[in-house]
Amino acid sequence: MTVASGLLHTARKLTEDATRVVVLSGAGMSAESGVPTFRDAQTGLWERYSPEQLATEEAFRAEPDLVWSWYLWRARMVRACEPNAGHRALGVAQHRCAERGGSLQVVTQNVDDLHERGGAEVLAHLHGSLFEYRCADCDAPAEFDPGTAEAGHMGTEEDLEKMLRTPPPICSQCAHGTLRPGIVWFGEMLPMDAFSSAQTAVEQCDLALVVGTSGLVQPAASLPYRALGSGAAVVEINPEATPLSDDATVTLRGTAAELLPELLLDSSGALS
């Protein structure tokens, strides 16, 4: 897919002129790493075990083994994926911005760790992390290693079936509750400190780059509008139109792995 060069030029100018950049990323950011998005991939496994169905406290209380196994499988699947060129471009750009006395802060709805593995520090994981755990009863944080995918055997229905009835471990602190993933499930509050640092970041930025989110889930979807309301420019990167597209300062139709390096780095890989 090619992006109109005029739009890319305008977006590059906005990026070059900005001192404080905030990146707001969603599932599309990790799509080219092989992590399925929520609303684009409603087939196969993701249809049978959709996040909407399993990502609730009620589902966990009703079927703890099923929900625990689903997250264990997703954590292993993510471990088998690598950061893409978009994640890596953000890692480089974050370092270069800091060297120039500016900042590039990453706020993500993603529960994977691909930003971090791509070299970028994350200011806020708004929807939690696949790699953090706590007790479902006493709330104590817990260490747990979800393990790794058997090479070449991840992502099939059979793999999930094999592990579907893995019970969650018992909490070592209270000795009666079970562990749960540190994910913000539907109906739960976002972690207060993560959301308030995200709000402050967008209120103080010159540019918000909104990458790979459908903008359908609140309150994360309000953040680009808060940036616009504070006078910042908003550049959207997404192959599809979203509710934000008409309001963004510039919308670039294309993917994260294609466009972030083009936007942020010059042909030698340095910050443009």
- Catalytic residue numbers read 127
Q: For residue 94, state whether it binds ligand APR (rule: CB under 6 A).
A: no
Q: For residue 212, state whether it binds ligand APR (rule: CB under 6 A).
A: yes
Contact 169, 198 (CB under 8 A): no
Cβ 119 to ligand APR, closest distance in Å? 18
Q: For residue 37, state whether it binds ligand APR (rule: CB under 6 A).
A: yes
DSSP three-state, residue 60: helix
CA distance between the termini of the chain: 22
In whole angstroms, give the CA distance from residue 163 to residue 146: 12
Contact 243, 227 (CB under 8 A): no
H-run or E-run covering 63: none
Among 240, 243, 266, 269, binds ligand APR (CB under 6 A): 240
Residue 31's φ and ψ, nearest 5 degrees, are: -60, -40
Among 15, 69, 94, 109, binds ligand APR (CB under 6 A): 109
Q: For residue 51, state whether it binds ligand APR (rule: CB under 6 A).
A: yes
Tokens describing residue 271: 């910050």
205 labelled as ligand-binding?
no
84 labelled as ligand-binding?
no
Q: Which is nearer to ligand APR, 27 or 122 (CB)?
A: 27
**Residues of this chain that bind ligand APR (CB under 6 A):** 26-28, 31-32, 37-40, 51, 109, 127, 211-214, 216-217, 237-240, 242, 255-256
